[in-house]
């Protein structure tokens, strides 16, 4: 197969982790007879430096013209003082919304060889930790009306958390379809005891649930979910929730695996074109030092092969290669443990490629 991939290296450790992921992809192409071609796209802080804006229209067009998008990470202290609309993060939000990527899938799974990195008690870990957060990505407070005005109390700002039935329904369906392929359980997370948008969310979730009698279904309030994730994460299979709750819970869910540097994500819309990225940030403190962990980006490529290109075997091949390298004790600094062999970003890429 021939696939055109828009590549956004971004800022901080973005370029080095993406380079390793592309080398893995090239190896897969060679092994399975596919041709992957890359179009490099500027977005984030580096685009601000070059063009004075985080997401030039040309970058959006390049993404729209591709079969899929791979992103490293954007942002850094250099651009922190900029106005909201000009921050590097705007690039991410812009791509998500312009490409219609409403469904963000964030798996949290304990890698057996890294079990000791998990900060939870052994008896909790033993019950298993393998869940997926399905996060609505282009609605809610991130995209609702916002404003800062002058009032008697001084500057006053608001953001609006807004959802339509249609927006809720399409993401809840993604969760139910996914649960059918996993352990058959959906937990819909909201704050329906307080928020009107959550009451609508809950109403629609129940309506969709009725169409999937084979899938176990429960509602859970977001504060309780935050607590249950550390108390008893094995109760969860698929969690579906709105944009901001999903942002927060997915960081928590990744941290309980002990290795945020290992977790990939996919963002998809109606079609097969998606954006794939690690869930960690640009880690400016270690950028350019060959210290970053490229695994989350490499696993993001594995997700791209599976979800956008229907290449199941190729995807599994990458996942198995990563597992094998970890089992042999190779580690980057963030997941280093006693007895581990410390590798740099490039060397970790080499090791994984050697298994393919």
Instruction: Look at residue 343 and give the partner it binds from ligand IPM, Mg ion, none, a contact being a CB closer than 5 to 8 Å depending on partner kind.
Output: none
Considering the candidates 3, 9, 191, 351, report the single residue annotated as catalytic. Answer: 191
Q: Does 167 bind Mg ion (CB under 5 A)?
A: no
> CA angle at residue 179 from 178 to 181, to 5 degrees?
70
Q: Which two tokens stand for residue 200?
A: 């609508």
C-alpha distances (whole Å) from 226 to each of 23, 98, 322 are 37, 31, 29
* CB neighbour class for 319 (10 Å; exposed up to 12, middle 13-18, buried from 19): middle
Residue given tokens 């109606």 in the structure block:
270
Using the minimum distance from each CB to Mg ion, give the nearer residue, 267 or 315.
267
Angle between helices 57-64 and 89-98 (to 10 degrees): 40
Q: Which two tokens stand for residue 190?
A: 């909201």
Using the minimum distance from each CB to ligand IPM, give the nearer residue, 74 or 238.
74
CA atoms of 91 and 49, how far apart (whole Å): 13
251 is catalytic: yes
Instruction: Look at residue 26 and give the partner it binds from ligand IPM, Mg ion, none, a contact being a CB closer than 5 to 8 Å depending on partner kind.
Output: none
276 is catalytic: no
CA atoms of 13 and 58, how far apart (whole Å): 24
What is the DSSP secondary structure assignment for residue 56, as one 8-state letter?
-
Q: Does 277 bind Mg ion (CB under 5 A)?
A: no
CA atoms of 332 and 106, how far apart (whole Å): 22
Using the minimum distance from each CB to ligand IPM, give the nearer residue, 113 or 278.
278
> CA angle at residue 215 from 213 to 218, to 5 degrees?
100
Q: Of 11, 103, 117, whose CA–CA distance to 54 is shortest?
A: 11
Considering the candidates 19, 142, 276, 306, report the single residue annotated as catalytic. Answer: 142
Instruction: Look at residue 89 and give the partner it binds from ligand IPM, Mg ion, none, a contact being a CB closer than 5 to 8 Å depending on partner kind.
Output: ligand IPM
- Binding-residue total with ligand IPM (CB under 6 A): 3
3-state DSSP of 314-337: HHHHHHHHHHHHHHCCEECHHHCC
247, 314, 317, 334: residue in contact with ligand IPM (rule CB under 6 A): 247
50 is catalytic: no
142 is catalytic: yes
Considering the candidates 67, 247, 317, 334, report the single residue annotated as catalytic. Answer: 247
Cβ–Cβ under 8 Å, residues 239 and 189? yes
Using the minimum distance from each CB to ligand IPM, give the nearer residue, 247 or 334.
247
Binding mask 112-151 for ligand IPM (x = CB under 6 A): ----------------------------------------
Binding mask 74-103 for ligand IPM (x = CB under 6 A): ---------------x--x-----------
Instruction: Look at residue 314 and give the partner it binds from ligand IPM, Mg ion, none, a contact being a CB closer than 5 to 8 Å depending on partner kind.
Output: none
> CA angle at residue 164 from 159 to 166, to 5 degrees?
145
Q: Does 247 bind Mg ion (CB under 5 A)?
A: yes
Minimum CB distance to ligand IPM, residue 89 (Å): 4
191 is catalytic: yes
Minimum CB distance to ligand IPM, residue 178 (Å): 19
Minimum CB distance to ligand IPM, residue 281 (Å): 7
Q: Which two tokens stand for residue 77?
A: 């202290």
Give the residues lining the site for Mg ion (CB under 5 A). Answer: 247
Please list the active-site residues.
142, 191, 223, 247, 251
Give the residues lining the site for ligand IPM (CB under 6 A). Answer: 89, 92, 247
């Amino acid at each position: 197969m021939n696939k055109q991939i828009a590549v956004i290296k971004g800022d901080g450790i973005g370029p080095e982790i993406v380079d390793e992921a592309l080398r893995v992809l090239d190896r897969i192409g060679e092994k399975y007879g596919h041709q992957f071609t890359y179009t490099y796209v500027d977005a984030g802080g580096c685009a601000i430096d070059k063009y004075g804006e985080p997401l030039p229209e040309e970058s959006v067009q390049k993404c729209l013209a591709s079969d899929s998008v791979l992103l490293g990470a954007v942002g850094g202290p250099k651009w922190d003082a900029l106005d909201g609309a000009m921050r590097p993060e705007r690039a991410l939000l812009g791509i998500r919304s312009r490409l219609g990527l409403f469904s963000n899938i964030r798996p949290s799974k304990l890698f057996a060889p890294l079990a000791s990195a998990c900060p939870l008690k052994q008896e909790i870990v033993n019950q298993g930790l393998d869940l997926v957060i399905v996060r609505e990505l282009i609605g809610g407070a991130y995209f609702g009306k916002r404003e800062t005005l002058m009032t008697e109390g001084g500057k006053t700002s608001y953001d609006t958390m807004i959802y339509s039935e249609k927006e809720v329904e399409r993401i809840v369906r993604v969760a139910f379809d996914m649960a059918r392929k996993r352990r058959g359980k959906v937990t819909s997370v909201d704050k329906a005891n307080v928020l009107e948008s959550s009451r609508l969310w809950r109403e629609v979730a129940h309506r969709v649930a009725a169409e999937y009698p084979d899938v176990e279904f429960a509602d859970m309030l977001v504060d309780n979910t935050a607590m249950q994730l550390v108390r008893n994460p094995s109760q969860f299979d698929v969690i579906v929730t709105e944009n901001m709750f999903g942002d927060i819970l997915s960081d928590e869910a990744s941290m309980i695996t002990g290795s945020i540097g290992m977790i990939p994500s996919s963002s998809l819309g109606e079609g097969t074109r998606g954006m794939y990225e690690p869930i960690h940030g640009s880690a400016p403190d270690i950028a350019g030092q060959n210290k970053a962990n490229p695994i989350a980006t490499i696993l993001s490529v594995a997700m791209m092969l599976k979800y956008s290109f229907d290449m199941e075997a190729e995807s599994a091949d990458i996942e198995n290669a990563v597992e094998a390298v970890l089992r042999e004790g190779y580690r980057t600094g963030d997941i280093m443990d006693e007895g581990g062999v410390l590798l740099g970003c490039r060397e970790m890429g080499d090791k994984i490629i050697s298994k393919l």
